[in-house]
Structure 1
Amino acid sequence: MKNITRNIFTIGFIILAFSCTDLDVDEKDSIVIPDTDEGFGGVNPGEALGAAYIDIRNTFNTQEALYALSEVSTDEMLVPTRGTDWGDNGVWRVLHEHTWDPTHRDVLSAWNRLNSNVFRLNQLLAPQSQASTQQAAEAKFLRAFSMFHVMDLYGQVPFREADEGVEVDPRVMTASEAFDFIINDLNEALADLPSTSPGAGTIKASKAAANFLLAKLYLNKHIYKGTGNPEAADMTMVIQAVDAIKNDGFDLQEGFFDLFKNDPDNETIWYTDAGVDTRMWNGLHYHQVVPDNDGGGWNGFSTLAEFYNLFEGDPETNVAGSGQEERRGFVPDIASDNIDDTNYGIGYGFLVGQQYGVAKDNNNKIIVPLQPIALNDRPGNPLVFTKDFPALVGNNERTGIRVLKYHPANGAFATGMIIFRYADAHLMKAEAILRGGSSGEDATALVNELRTLRKASTLSSVDLETLLDERGRELYNEGWRRNDMIRFGAYTGQWEFKENTEEFRVLYPIPATALVSNPNLEQNPGY
């Protein structure tokens, strides 16, 4: 990836009344909607497209909303309450327990953000805006992406045309109708999107990005259509879409944690210039620091022991050289003399056991040359991250394994967050083959190709359960775990501190305020 900064197109603001959402519009990222005597007069397509990419950035530029719904509700992520820290009126705990309701903060904020993205793109795509062919293709891809998430999370999609006034209640698509609409957008966009190879250009929509989303859609088609089982023809569509991505030059790349630096790589298909600090500091302890953030982490997000145990290696330690596969990462330690300015004592991947760092002077600045130290928590106990929690509440500062893919040594507040990655597409292809798609390749061989690159032992065979685990090992903390667990029938199962098995939880509720404002919406069953 390459760190690219975009200017926010701030050209004024208005207050809009959307009956599809209870929408808050911020001055800094809103655009003027020109009106004429005849009604909607179109928007400036170049400025609107720039704003649409900013909308995508803002969607990912937080640990709340879409990210919280996609990760904290799974076996991959837990945000325990530590004393009074991370209590937040229980919003994190109920996500993990699957006991949320239609008033949940993140249920509403994700709904508002995603539907706002869609409506602004409807304005860009309206004939009055006179978008160029490529501008329209990019806008259709971006609209398809936001609508995909609305469909995936909520099972229905409100849709307001650009020229419809506030007196019109937006129509509502079922998941099946939304699926067809999204597929049509992507197919129309494909011909006019650029063929982008790996590199800086992947911050924009491309043929490869559209093919990735098509693969994701067809892989989950039986979920959205409610048909129960995937069809072989749809799985073949997945395979063809992934092959098209590879033909554009994308491929697997060795050096797992190097993929999450701001350097070009062969795997990143699409990324946004969102800040990655919310994927770093939300789990690191207050005393884990780097030169450009001497205030340390926020000490919240953790993972479960059972998820950590999916990885190869000594289950009791993750210090360097513990026989672990590359993706599990490692914790630096003083004895190995591997604490330097490439890590500042902060590990990669899964941080468990004694944590190390570097000494600071009386002015709270890191001492140079670096002086490695074993860290303590704020009360003075050795900072030993444990695998186990006493409960969702009543935790100290040390409970829970922390997870880190984007490393603060690459920039404490760096930007450049991956949205689509080729390893995901590679595993989608393997899954599609297992589910009956036509290909001359073998699913086990594809999985072992990836595992060998990640320094994990090869497997003699692969089934669907194994593949779900493999997707977890490769894609943890990248926002796909909920989607995967639903497709594999695991999302309504039980894991630590999650006993609720209600099947209707595969969809989130329609926010209470949205139901009031749009009578065409119906609450999802169970809520």
Structure 2
Amino acid sequence: MTNNITIKNRLLISAVLLSFLLSSCSLDIDETDSLITEGGSSVFNGVENPAGSVDNLYNNISGQIASQEEMYALSEVTSDILLVPTRGTDWGDNGVWRTLHAHTWGPTHRDIVNVWNNKNGAVLRATEVIDPLSKATVEQVAHAKFVRAYNMWIIMDYYGQVPFRNPTDGPDVIPTVYNRSEAYDLIVQDLNDAIAGLPASNPTSDNKTRAVKATARFLLAKVKLNAEVYLGSYGANDLQDVIDLVDQIEADGYSLVGGSYFDLFVGPTFTNSDVIWNVTADVGTKMWSALHYNQAHPENGGGGWNGFTTLAEFYDKFEGPTNDNSIGSGQEERRGYTHTLASTNADNQGFGYGFQLGQMYGWRDGAAVPLETRTGAPLAFTKELPGLVGNNEVTGMRLLKYSPANGAFTSGTVLARFADAHLMRAEAMLRLGNTGGALAEVNELRALRENTPPLSSLDEQGLLDERGRELYQEYVRRNDMIRFGVFDDAWEFKEAGDGHTNLFPIPASALLSNPNLVQNEGY
């Protein structure tokens, strides 16, 4: 990836995150750490400003979500939804993108290392707020426990092992390492504690960047729905707990929302009752990493970075014409549309939503015009790609869950929606044998989406497909595919695997600094 805008983006994100990356892979505390004070402990005497520390915990999450790398790459590019093909020399990056899609990554992969470091650092920072020495309020502790649970869940889900240290441990103390079962228990406890101490839910609030009771219930339902992956089997009450938690979220006033599907993702504030949690991160990287250099916007004259694409196999899971996704072609609403010449205007600047296929248009000098590539050929994105290499400027459809039609760098990235919770409840019903109830849940959602007829039957593959159609680019696909047992299957440009990539490797640097860690099988 050689685009200058992308490089600048990395530098900006690095600057935002710098203050949070104070701990090494072994979670050592450097003597220059601002939290070290004089007093009874030479290591830690409490966080001086718990309120500010809680702010930083949430800002940390937002800063990481702002990138097209790290969590976005590991959760979406590793799946059957996104890939980043090399175009000439662009987006080569020594293979970091191709290895994610092909599942051939190793323990020094940039994103695997960075997510490990960032999330482990966040767990320590949250634990410092929770420590009684910090004298945080009940609500501040509840926020810190939610954030710790969220970050620890990602480590447990991605890597299967979770290092942990108490703030009062000296820098020479090697962190304990929790296995999945131990980490699971702490995450569940933290979330139950957070539910008790967090503010009441408010589904129409204009600020959903902080957790409320419903946010913690949502994450707890997500954790319990994956209990079979984490623990080897579901507990007696896990699936019923998922149903009960979603019922409680619904009782708080959160609900499925009809109308325009893509309007649900227009920030910076989200007052609709579907959105449960969002972060302030702008969505620029989710858009411009895919769009072509010549797809400019009044707020971004440099255009896109021409990288990320989506797969024909995923596109074909949606209903509609096979080779036409232009506006008004009868496709189901969630597949989105590309603008035609007649429908392009100054308001949308030629940008559509969802899958961008075929000729692209722009708004130039008061008129709609068909766009061209840098060599003067029609800028028409193709459904098929030749592979992970050998691509040109137009191969591959582009995917816009967030669209520049709403602004070049609109703030607000959605991380939790009731639609996801609703489908989690349906899945729990299906796994408990209530297929009829699960089908009714799915069709209740589909009824709100235009040109999306009801399903006549439902099995696990059908529910996974429905989750893909509703929740693509929302950081859930890798997790879903593992839970449904298909993450090691073959798909376009990826061979079938042996299952070891269900976990990422422990970074090589972490193994060197913490002998309690053991490399995951297959690496």
* Band of TM-score, shorter chain: over 0.9
Structure 2 vs 1, CA of residues 392 and 306 (structure 1 numbering), >3 Å: closer, same or farther?
same
Structure 2 vs 1, CA of residues 284 and 52 (structure 1 numbering), >3 Å: closer, same or farther?
same
Alignment equivalent of 1:329, drawn from 332, 336, 341: 336
Q: TM-score, normalised by structure 2?
A: 0.92
| Equivalent position SS for 2:217 | helix
CA drift at 1:468: 0.2
Which whole-Å CA distance do the structure 1 matches of 2:239 and 2:347 have between them? 42
Alignment equivalent of 1:474, drawn from 457, 470, 475: 470
Indicate if the aligned counterparts of 1:314 and 1:323 stay in contact, CA closer than 8 A. Answer: yes
Which whole-Å CA distance do the structure 2 matches of 1:405 and 1:87 have between them? 25
CA drift at 1:34: 3.3
| 1:449 corresponds to 2:444 | yes
CA drift at 1:500: 4.0
Residues 31-40 or 178-187, more deviating: 31-40
CA drift at 1:203: 1.0
- Matched residue, 2:139: 134
- Matched residue, 2:415: 419
Alignment equivalent of 1:187, drawn from 188, 192, 215: 192
- Matched residue, 1:278: 285
CA drift at 1:342: 3.4
Which whole-Å CA distance do the structure 1 matches of 2:216 and 2:40 have between them? 38
| 1:173 corresponds to 2:178 | yes
CA drift at 1:405: 1.2
CA drift at 1:14: 10
| Equivalent position SS for 1:200 | coil
CA RMSD of aligned residues (A): 2.2
Which whole-Å CA distance do the structure 1 matches of 2:162 and 2:477 have between them? 22
Alignment equivalent of 1:301, drawn from 299, 308, 325: 308
Alignment equivalent of 2:215, drawn from 196, 199, 209: 209
CA drift at 1:13: 6.9
Which whole-Å CA distance do the structure 2 matches of 1:212 and 1:502 have between them? 31
Which whole-Å CA distance do the structure 1 matches of 2:29 and 2:396 have between them? 36
Q: Which amino acid aligns with 1:329?
A: G
Which whole-Å CA distance do the structure 2 matches of 1:497 and 1:449 have between them? 35
CA drift at 1:47: 1.1
- Matched residue, 1:433: 429
Q: TM-score, normalised by structure 1?
A: 0.92
Q: Deviations over 1:375-402 (max 9, x none)?
A: 1111111011011111211100100010
- Matched residue, 1:240: 244
Q: Deviations over 1:105-153 (max 9, x none)?
A: 1110010111111011111111110000000001100100000000000
Alignment equivalent of 2:154, drawn from 149, 165, 169: 149
Which whole-Å CA distance do the structure 1 matches of 2:231 and 2:397 have between them? 38
CA drift at 1:104: 0.5
Residues 402-411 or 425-434, more deviating: 402-411
Q: Which amino acid aligns with 2:238?
A: D
- Matched residue, 2:393: 397
Which whole-Å CA distance do the structure 2 matches of 1:225 and 1:429 have between them? 20
- Matched residue, 1:223: 229
Structure 2 vs 1, CA of residues 105 and 51 (structure 1 numbering), >3 Å: closer, same or farther?
same
| 1:42 corresponds to 2:42 | no
Which whole-Å CA distance do the structure 2 matches of 1:14 and 1:159 have between them? 17
Structure 2 vs 1, CA of residues 303 and 238 (structure 1 numbering), >3 Å: closer, same or farther?
same
Which whole-Å CA distance do the structure 1 matches of 2:77 and 2:222 have between them? 21
Q: Which amino acid aligns with 2:58?
A: Y
Q: Deviations over 1:215-236 (max 9, x none)?
A: 1011000100023xx4562111
Q: Which amino acid aligns with 1:223?
A: V
CA drift at 1:37: 4.4
Q: Which amino acid aligns with 2:500?
A: F
| Equivalent position SS for 1:442 | helix
Which whole-Å CA distance do the structure 2 matches of 1:70 and 1:498 have between them? 16
Which whole-Å CA distance do the structure 2 matches of 1:429 and 1:148 have between them? 20
- Matched residue, 2:4: none
Q: Deviations over 1:327-385 (max 9, x none)?
A: 00111111xx32123321111000011111112xxxxxxx3xx3101111111110110
Indicate if the aligned counterparts of 2:226 and 2:483 stay in contact, CA closer than 8 A. Answer: yes
CA drift at 1:57: 0.8
- Matched residue, 2:6: none
Q: Which amino acid aligns with 2:478?
A: R
| Equivalent position SS for 1:194 | coil
| 1:70 corresponds to 2:75 | yes
| 1:290 corresponds to 2:297 | yes
| Equivalent position SS for 2:238 | helix
Structure 2 vs 1, CA of residues 431 and 196 (structure 1 numbering), >3 Å: closer, same or farther?
same
CA drift at 1:452: 1.2
Indicate if the aligned counterparts of 2:27 and 2:124 stay in contact, CA closer than 8 A. Answer: no
Which whole-Å CA distance do the structure 2 matches of 1:273 and 1:261 have between them? 12
Residues 113-122 or 192-201, more deviating: 192-201
Structure 2 vs 1, CA of residues 257 and 13 (structure 1 numbering), >3 Å: closer, same or farther?
closer
Which whole-Å CA distance do the structure 1 matches of 2:178 and 2:377 have between them? 55
Q: Which amino acid aligns with 2:521?
A: P
Indicate if the aligned counterparts of 1:19 and 1:170 stay in contact, CA closer than 8 A. Answer: no
Structure 2 vs 1, CA of residues 225 and 319 (structure 1 numbering), >3 Å: closer, same or farther?
same
- Structure 2 unaligned spans of 5+: 1-15
Which whole-Å CA distance do the structure 2 matches of 1:284 and 1:15 have between them? 31
Residues 65-74 or 31-40, more deviating: 31-40
Q: Which amino acid aligns with 1:266?
A: S
Structure 2 vs 1, CA of residues 489 and 17 (structure 1 numbering), >3 Å: closer, same or farther?
closer
CA drift at 1:431: 0.5
Which whole-Å CA distance do the structure 1 matches of 2:19 and 2:149 have between them? 25
- Matched residue, 1:4: none
- Matched residue, 1:158: 163
Number of equivalenced pairs: 501
Indicate if the aligned counterparts of 1:19 and 1:166 stay in contact, CA closer than 8 A. Answer: no
